[in-house]
DNA sequence: CTTATTTCGGATAAATTTATCCTATTTATA
DNA sequence: TATAAATAGGATAAATTTATCCGAAATAAG
């Protein structure tokens, strides 16, 4: 469904969110340990999140990654996915036609569009805050 | 969403279905031209469909691929997807946890399971016959 | 039986994704 | 200013997916 990079990116964003809740910055090392991902690869993905203004990075000593607490509720999963995997999951044809187009639809277009809309809706209506709280409460997990 | 192999497999199955409707067998060459896919790679994918008893192959002169007309309505898209991509799209965790498990859920589990159920339902309730008829009527397309 | 045709299947190559390594740059603190 | 700590980013490697090639096996027809 999502690329490995995107899975790591989502989990990293959620973990950063849980720590930013308490005003803590986190390192790629801490992140990769917490979400069980390769450190250097995760660092690359974090850069993409920074470039897309979803996460703030602070260089130098005592630096790290953080998310503005006031933005935790407004940052949606869709933005994280879009920053890493792009928008093909929303816009691309399910059977790989050059573009998804109702006037030249593939065989599964009508049905696929409906499923995709459900996914889009889910991603656009799920905030990092919500996911971070689920982790903090112990209702959900980031690894294993 | 689906792998390239799976996209080709679905389109190939649909094309074979349209031809089997008229009692015609088709070659990998004809298939790859019709669905705009690499021929040798498509041939490999067809073998997977044959192994899974979704498509019948006839070797030798005047051979080719075909689908029993009586089965067109009972073969579902889910079977084609399953033969090529396996069942991870139904069963796998959206964030890559080792298994999707309600007692140890990832952050998006509840919402993801719902989206996945929609996809599963769609695939399990769409027959090759239905898709083949859409192609024959010109309401849907296999390439471009 | 021979031949032409066609799928099967193994080996290999190219492309993409995933992962690692190392150096440069930035920055807080002493 | 010097130093240590930390992200940024380029180069490279490994793994997986996608794609190609070629000979073996099967089969219909002459
Ligand atoms: S054209 Fe294929 S999903 Fe819309
Ligand atoms: S545990 Fe992640 S989707 Fe179910």
Mean pLDDT of A95-110: 97
Sorting pLDDT into bands at 50, 70 and 90, what band is A27? very high
Mean pLDDT of A17-31: 96
Considering only the beta carbons, identify the residue of B89, B109, B140 that sits closest to A106: B140
Closest-CA residue to B134 (of A112, A89, A98, A92): A112
Instruction: Please state the separation of Cα A15 from the chain's center in Å.
Output: 11
Q: What distance in Å separates the CA atoms of residue B100 and residue B13, rounded to the nearest whole number?
A: 30
The 3-state secondary structure of B21-60 reads CCCCCECHHHHHHHHCCCHHHHHHHHHHHHHCCCCEEECC
Closest-CA residue to A18 (of A144, A143, A134): A134
Whether the CB of B119 is below 8 Å from some CB of chain A: the reply is yes
Whole-model pTM above 0.85? yes
User: Does ligand 1 lie within 6 Å of residue A100's CB atom?
Assistant: yes
For A:37-66, CB contacts with B below 8 A are none
* Mean predicted lDDT score pLDDT of chain B: 97
Q: What is the pLDDT of residues A37-53, one digit of tens each?
A: 999 999 999 999 999 99
What pLDDT does A52 receive? 98
Could you tell me the domains of chain B?
Answer: 4-136 (1.10.10.10)
Q: What distance in Å separates the CA atoms of residue A57 and residue A110, rounded to the nearest whole number?
A: 42
What pLDDT does B142 receive? 98
The answer to whether the beta carbon of residue B43 comes closer than 7 angstroms to any atom of strand C is yes
Rounded to the nearest angstrom, the minimum Cα separation between B72 and chain A is 15
- Which residues, 6+ apart, have CB-to-CB distance to A18 below 8 Å? A132, A135, A136
CA of B99 to the centre of ligand 2 (A): 7
Ligand nearest to the CA of A7: 2
The share of chain B scoring above pLDDT 70, in percent, equals: 100
Mean pLDDT of B37-46: 98
The share of chain A scoring above pLDDT 90, in percent, equals: 100
Q: What is the pLDDT of residues B52-104, one digit of tens each?
A: 999 999 999 999 999 999 999 999 999 999 999 999 999 999 999 999 999 99
> A65 has which bridge partners?
A26, A57
What pLDDT does B53 receive? 97
Q: Which helix (H) or strand (E) segment is B64 a member of?
A: strand B64-66
Backbone angles phi, psi at A19, to 5 degrees: -80, -35
* Cβ < 6 A, ligand 2 pocket: B 93-95, 97, 100-101, 105-106, 108-109, 112-113
């Amino acid at each position: 469904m999502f690329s490995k990079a995107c899975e790591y990116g989502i989990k990293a964003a959620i973990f950063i969110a849980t720590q930013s809740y308490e005003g803590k910055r986190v390192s790629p090392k801490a992140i990769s340990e917490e979400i069980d991902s390769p450190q250097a690869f995760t660092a690359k993905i974090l850069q993409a999140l920074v470039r897309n203004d979803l996460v703030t990075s602070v260089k130098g000593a005592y630096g790290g990654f953080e998310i503005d607490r006031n933005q935790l509720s407004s940052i949606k999963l869709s933005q994280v996915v879009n920053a890493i995997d792009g928008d093909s999951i929303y816009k691309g044809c399910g059977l790989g036609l050059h573009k998804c187009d109702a006037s030249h639809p593939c065989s599964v277009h009508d049905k696929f569009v409906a499923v995709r809309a459900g996914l889009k809706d889910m991603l656009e209506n799920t905030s990092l805050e919500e996911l971070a709280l689920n982790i903090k409460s112990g209702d959900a997990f980031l690894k294993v």
